[in-house]
Amino acid sequence: MLTIAAIDRLRTRQERPAPKIGRMLQQRTLKSISRAVGVGLHSGQRVELTLRPAPADTGIVFRRVDLPEPVDIPMNAEAVTDTRLASTVSNGGAKVQTVEHIMSACAGIGIDNLYIDITADEVPILDGSAASFVFLLQSAGVELQKAPRRFIEVLAPVEVREGEGANEKWARLDPYHGFRLSFEIDFDHKVVNSTGQRFEFDLGSGQYNRDIARARTFGFTKEVEYMRSKGLALGGGLDNAIVMDDTKVLNAGGLRYDDEFVKHKILDAMGDLYIVGHPLLAAYSAFRSGHALNNKLLRALLAQPKAYRFVTFDDERAAPRGFAEVARAW
């Protein structure tokens, strides 16, 4: 015979809701179109940029719409054809230079699919950081798509090195459930040496916009003068780069962060690595790395099929911390 207490316990068990089934971690694109106009850092050319939503599994695709026949340049490690001053991607004879800042913004807020229409061969430098691109992307709104985000999970360490002694530089990927970057710089310059030389950033913190996106590219007056004599850095100036002489920063407002130089290197690395076409699940560490070594690292990873695999998350709760949320505006 059931007591009243037993009946209540039975009723409670029957009324208890079934465990929730987690939502798939979905791909993302934009909700609407976003546009910007600026100049190329090296070419000095006026360039129009139009960011457009793209279907699931498209990836990020630059489209040279100024050519007689528009040419698409999909992002993948093999698309990088020049890394001397920036990351340049190409398809046939069509190229787009200086893609790393907008690619960093896409990585920082988790955009998977995007068409980037461009009217010249170089992405506009805007303010020299990724902040303006983050603003453009977030202004358009982020749209979830009915397809799982595909990650490249690093399963074994991969490292590339160049030089010896004072000229040594290296970059490395290690297994990690998330995406963490650690970078150390080493410049023989009074101003740079007086700032933070090393920084570590975890994308799962949700603080890309606050901690990384606003860090600007930088250069030295001697280098700028030399590059301009070679027809480069024609669009560069104090409004889109940190410029230093031998002893001081020339920008009236000074630095945005106490460690802005190393943070910009992390910004660049995020953009360079996102060119692989998928977000990485890995810990990246580097010493004096740059665009060339970052791309060499991607190619070294892809050359070792046992060092990585593609993964998705049917339940977003199983994804690394912070990966299910859209990055907050600053």
Report, as residue numbers or ranges, the catalytic residues.
Answer: 291
Phi-psi region of 182 (alpha: psi -120 to 50; beta: other; left: phi over 0): beta
Nearest to residue 171, comparing CAs of 303, 290, 282, 306?
A: 290
Cα–Cα distance between 170 and 296 in angstroms, integer? 10
Phi and psi dihedrals of 53, rounded to 5?
Answer: -60, 150
Other CB atoms within a 10 A radius of the CB of residue 262 amount to: 23
Position 234: which residue type? L
Phi and psi dihedrals of 208, rounded to 5?
Answer: -55, -50
Asked whether 264 and 213 are in contact (CB, 8 A), the reply is no
Nearest to residue 103, comparing CAs of 298, 261, 314, 283?
A: 298
Cα–Cα distance between 181 and 267 in angstroms, integer? 10
Write out the H or E segment, with its range, that includes residue 81: strand 80-82
Cα–Cα distance between 101 and 175 in angstroms, integer? 25
The residues facing 62 across adjacent strands are 73, 116
Asked whether 126 and 132 are in contact (CB, 8 A), the reply is yes
Q: At what angle are helices 100-109 and 260-274 packed, to 10 degrees?
A: 80
